[in-house]
Amino acid sequence: MSDNGLVSLPLIQLIVGLGNPGTEYKNTRHNAGAWFVEALCQQFRLSLKLEPKFSAHHTQWTFGGKDYRILIPNTFMNHSGQAVGACAKYYHIPPEAILVAHDELDFSPGVFRFKTGGGHAGHNGLRDIIHHLHSREFHRIRLGIGHPGHKDAVSDYVLSAPSKEDKQQIRTAIQEAIPVLQKALTQPTQPLAQTQ
């Protein structure tokens, strides 16, 4: 479920999904952003290929008469900025033209929100992207995964698989977010609705 605000992303050139590489992490909550990009690629029959110069899996998506770069870093989460920064530099993409999909502890499974700018709130992937881009002004899709209830439990929580019910709710949110993204990419230039 999305917020009720207007979402507009007409200047986006790069869409990134965050996660950790390898089968050990593929089904963990921290990979929700990667799940989003994988679902987008599946819907539009795109094939991600390993691009060593970006340390990422990468493809191009043509939608609405525009070309977009699609990226899933092949680095561990804490080094996500390495891949995002390399791709952005290679294609001369400014931070304001980047959209990052990531897991969000502050929202329940099934909830997603779009946001522009802001801090990293302890998310190491966002922290490293901010470091490499020297900017916070990229866009985000925040995919709710819920919170374990105590900050000391967060690390184990995000690196474990969600329950069957939670995973279905996350998947549903992803499927709802994709058409919102499609619409946002083709709207006239307007500020992205700020959310909590």
Weakly modelled stretches of the chain, pLDDT under 70: 1-7, 188-196
User: What is the model's pLDDT at position 176?
Assistant: 95
Residues acting as catalytic residues: 30
Long-range residue pairs from 39-43, CB within 8 A, at least 24 positions apart, any chain: 39/171, 39/174, 39/175, 39/178, 40/15, 40/70, 40/178, 40/181, 41/70, 43/178
151-175 in b/e burial notation, b at 16+ Cβ within 10 A?
eeeeeebbeeebeeebbebbbebbe
Rounded distance between C-alpha atoms, residue 171 and residue 168, angstroms: 5
Q: Which residues pair with 16 in a beta bridge?
A: 71, 100
Rounded distance between C-alpha atoms, residue 187 and residue 59, angstroms: 23
The token pair that represents 36 in the structure block: 């989003």
User: What is the model's pLDDT at position 30?
Assistant: 97
Cβ atoms of residues 77 and 59 within 8 Å: no
Fold of 14-186: Rossmann fold (3.40.50)
In one-letter notation, the amino acid at residue 166 is D
Segments making up each domain of the chain, as ranges: 14-186
Give the CA distances from residue 116 to residues 24, 140, 143, 145, 160, in Å, rounded to whole numbers and listed in that order: 31, 6, 14, 20, 28
The token pair that represents 108 in the structure block: 């329940």
**Nearest alpha-carbon partner for 145 in 154, 133, 132:** 154
User: What is the model's pLDDT at position 9?
Assistant: 78
User: What is the model's pLDDT at position 195?
Assistant: 41
